[in-house]
Structure 1
Amino acid sequence: MAAALAVAAASACGSGSAAVAEGDPILVSVSIAAPSAAPIFLAETLGYFKEEGLDVEVREIANASLQVATGQVQYGAVNTNTLMQSASEDIGLQGVCVTQVDPSYVLAVSDDTWNRRGLTESMSLKDQLTALQGEQITAVGGRTVNPGAKLLEALLEKNGLPGDWIGVLSMAGASQATAAFQNKQVGVIFQPQPQPDQVLSHVPGRILYSIGDSPLFSEMDNVAWSTIATSAKFAAANPDMTKKFCNAIGRANNFLDDNPDGAAEALKSVMPVDPEILKNAMPTYKWARDGSMSESDFFHGVEVLTGMGMFDQAPSPDSTRAAYTAAYQN
């Protein structure tokens, strides 16, 4: 929440609607070069942005919401958790099209943890989770802000266990989180692919559970997990640009859904992942068709995420309406 307050303070100093100067590229932020940001990288690699007449520059920026909300960066990949927390501070950050839906997180353990905790293949998921009491996962930003950490809490609670049954060790970045597993600082990982496969390629272990294959999270079908966000003022001042941007993202989403192998091939030069691991990871992601989602469907998804405890503060109807619009989608 401190990050959201910082954004709010910064927003008071800037309009968030500054036009892109002639000759300057449209700046787009991603937090990390990972499959979650694939639509942006793919739209750039396959020329979708250029075909829309957009000159785009993608930058890796740790705190995307800060620069996007203040208009320093025109568009950014923002997960719904961050979007709604920012909306509660009324800073003008707005989702304009949807990227990932139906998140697929994987729970895996090292062989050392498997043996030390007495896990067996015949155990139910609940029994395996019960045996992991006191173990820790790593999460960038920690329990209060990391959506994966909150999703783990929901998984534990769905199995009748307290949300803090497995602890959360806060890390500053993904590389530190991977190193913690490799150094046996933690023995459990709960991340989307390709992180689990990457880690297990260095540290022997096994996958226990995948949300994407489980009926436990069926309520998350078609729930927006991440969006393309911008300043609401910038979008209103540049509607044609925003529509073109969303159109390019929608084309990339469709390519990712229809041809995940081709997407992996196109992305291998921009993502620091073993090409075979990346190829195996891409089909585990689901994307909003055409980048589109109705406002009512988005609002329903926020209600689902709220019911799962994904937000520190339940979003109000007004903040939810301010946080997302389908006005710039085709």
Structure 2
Amino acid sequence: MALGMSLSLAATVAKADEAIRILCPTWSGYAPVFVAQELGYFKKLGIDVSIKFEDERANVMAAMAHGDIEMDMRTVGEYQGKPRDAKTPGIIIGTIDQSLGGDGVISSGDITSVDQLKGKTVASEPNIPGRLLLQMELKKKGMTLADLDVKQIATADTIAVFSDPSIAAVVSYQPNLSQAVDKVPQRKPHILVSSAQYPGIIVDVIIARQDDLKANPEKYKKFMIGIFKAIDYFKSNKADFIKLAAPHFNLSPEEFAASIEGSLDYTGHKETSEYFGKPGAPGSLYKVFDEVMQLNLENGAAENNLKAAEQIDNSIIAGITEADLK
């Protein structure tokens, strides 16, 4: 309740056509938002952006439904998960990163293949990217999640859970994956499954509330321009980007650098444009959406067969040119 009130109060300070309030999970992939703030990109563009971390998806969905936020960020797979249906507030308007090692499954050294997990206890939070990856690997072996003893956990507890020798593997994401490898050496841990094996599948998307998007499309164009500028800054001034981003994640610059190195790729204007295409000519994200949708329906993470054409709006990205980024 206090979180919703603070975000609502923030909206009263800025006009509706300027304010974007964001709730999203704690993930290094969202750093461009903070860096765009730190560098004054949003302010120069005339928008007021506020962002808070909220790892409970139910709280984010409730805030979106109540009009307390305008934006959410998470993976395509998480977006599709229960209880979302075709009428749930929120539509995908952009991407911010793709996971290339940032999500996966950590196991003890004696487990070298997912088929060795049969009948063993695997810990995972529901509907996180690594769980989808595990499902894909199991499918190759003719197995499903039902062949495992899945224990529900909070991803933040990865290290403590993996320290328990009765747990064969833990589904997680960065920085928890690398921290578990470093802090539980007695189990000879290694990454059993990684998003690096599935480029383009685990994509973090930017989700806007439809009513506000319709009323203030220019605001969202400006937001995406700010994000693309921050990603360009990462490419040209990586060390300073890391220095600016790290405090927002309660990490040192070295720790933040470790959380993104070999873990993700920030998606700039070119990559995002390829994902989205143009009105009448959908990009690659539409195929990814439908592929992940079928996997989520199979594993029970989703219960409604959502259609990419109805859940993705490529008009904002199509309206941004290279000239806008100068």
Which TM bucket (shorter chain)? 0.7 to 0.9
Match of 1:252 in 2: 230
TM-score of the superposition, structure 2-length normalised? 0.76
Question: Are the aligned partners of 2:84 and 2:304 in contact in 1 as well (CA < 8 Å)?
Answer: no
Runs of 4+ in 1 over 6 A off after TM superposition: none
Deviations 1:246-276 (A, max 9, x none): 1112223344456655433222211134543
Encode CA deviations 1:186-236: one digit per residue, 9 max, x unaligned: 34233233211112222113324453443xx3xx43x46221112111101
How many aligned positions are there? Answer: 287
| Alignment match, 1:15 | none
In structure 1, list runs of 5 or more residues that go unmatched. 1-18, 120-124
The whole-number CA distance in structure 2 between the counterparts of 1:241 and 1:81 is 26
Cα 1:306–1:39 change in 2 (3 A) is same
For 1:78, the equivalent position in structure 2 comes to 74
C-alpha distance in 2, partners of 1:103/1:167? Answer: 27
Q: Distance in 2 between matches of 1:279 and 1:155?
A: 28
CA contact (8 A) 2:22 2:50 kept: yes
Q: 1:108 aligns with which of 106, 109, 113?
A: 106
By how many angstroms is 1:94 displaced?
A: 0.8
Between the aligned partners of 1:272 and 1:256, the Cα distance in structure 2 is 19
Map Cα deviations across residues 70-119 of structure 1 (whole Å, 9 max, x no partner): 3211222132123334652412311111112255323322xxx43xxx45
Q: Aligned to 1:269, what secondary structure does the other structure show?
A: helix
In structure 2, the gaps of 5 or more residues are: 1-9, 321-326
What are the within-5 Å matches in structure 2 for residues 268-307 of structure 1? 268-283=246-261, 284-290=263-269, 291-292=272-273, 293-295=275-277, 296=282, 297-307=284-294
Partner of 2:129: 147
Matches for 1:24-35 after TM superposition, within 5 Å: 26-32=20-26, 34-35=27-28
Q: Which residue of 1 aligns with 2:6?
A: none
Alignment CA distance shift 1:55-1:176 (3 Å): same
Q: How far, CA to CA, are the matches of 2:91 and 2:44 in structure 1?
A: 25
| Secondary structure of the structure 2 residue equivalent to 1:152 | helix
Query: Which residue number in structure 2 is paired with residue 95 of structure 1?
Result: 92
Given the two structures, how large is their TM-score scaled by the length of structure 1? Answer: 0.75
- Give, in angstroms, the shift of residue 240 of structure 1: 1.3
- Partner amino acid for 1:130? D
Range 236-245 or range 47-56, more displaced: 47-56
Secondary structure of residue in 2 paired with 1:164: helix
Distance 2:149 2:292 in 1: 21
Provide the C-alpha distance between the structure 2 equivalents of 1:326 and 1:224, rounded to a whole number of angstroms.
19
* Alpha carbons of structure 1 residues 316 and 188: separation in structure 2 relative to 1, 3 Å: closer
Residue 63 of structure 2: aligned partner: 67
Q: Deviation digits for residues 6-64 of structure 1, max 9, x if unmatched?
A: xxxxxxxxxxxxx95454653211222x2132232232233322222222221223332
> In structure 1, how many angstroms separate the alpha carbons of the residues matched to 2:240 and 2:168?
33
1:40 corresponds to 2:33: yes
What's the counterpart of residue 190 of structure 2? Answer: 207
Q: Secondary structure at the match of 1:96?
A: strand
- Give the SS at the match of 2:285: helix
Alignment partner of 1:136 is 2:121: yes
CA separation of 1:57 and 1:268: change in aligned 2, threshold 3 A: same
Shift of 1:152: 0.9
3-state DSSP of counterpart to 2:22: strand
Q: % of aligned pairs identical?
A: 16
- Alignment equivalent of 1:191, drawn from 165, 172, 182: 172
Alignment deviations for residues 297-325 of structure 1 (CA, whole Å, 9 cap, x no partner):
221111221344465346343xx223211
